[in-house]
Amino acid sequence: MMEPEHLLFFDDECPLCVRAVRHIVEIDAEKKFLFAPLRGETAAEILSGPQASLRNANSLVVVENWRSTDRNFWVRSRAVLRVYWLIGGQWKIYGWLSFLPGFFGDWIYNLVAAHRHQFHLRIDKEIAPKDRFLP
């Protein structure tokens, strides 16, 4: 099995974000993604320097090719769509939208993100196997 190529940072205190991660784990049959909390050690290491502001982006953050020196960072709606593109298969139909400008999708994403804690959803303790998560 290949090592996961991509890393997704998320707010582990946000029920909507946790559900999004669970969904990605379910559809990521080839295990292309690892996951880490935005407030964790991995985020402090990877999201530093010019990318330090991404730790406060109020968004999912996708790091494409995270082990490489040629990383690509995706946030908000384009991060979600890029996940679908990278997973591939039937999900690529949604993923191709990641190549379009993100202003419309980001408007919707920001609206939901600003109110996500008001949805009163329960955070599930077990999101996925622990080997898919970094600190």
Q: b/e per residue, 1-26, with b = 16+ CB within 10 A?
A: eeebbbbbbbbbebbbbbbbbeebbe
Is 47 part of a structural domain of the chain? yes
Within a domain: residue 31?
Answer: yes
Residues 5-52 pLDDT 10s? 999 999 888 888 888 899 999 999 999 999 999 999 999 999 999 999
| Domain of residue 84, residue span | 6-132
pTM: 0.83
- Contact between residue 22 and residue 48 where contact means Cβ atoms under 8 Å apart: no
- The pairing of beta strand 6-10 with beta strand 72-75: unpaired
The structure tokens listed for 72 are 């690509």
Asked if residue 1 belongs to a domain, the reply is no
For the chain, the domain total comes to 1
Asked if the structure places residue 42 within a domain, the reply is: yes
C-alpha 108/C-alpha 111 separation (Å) is 5
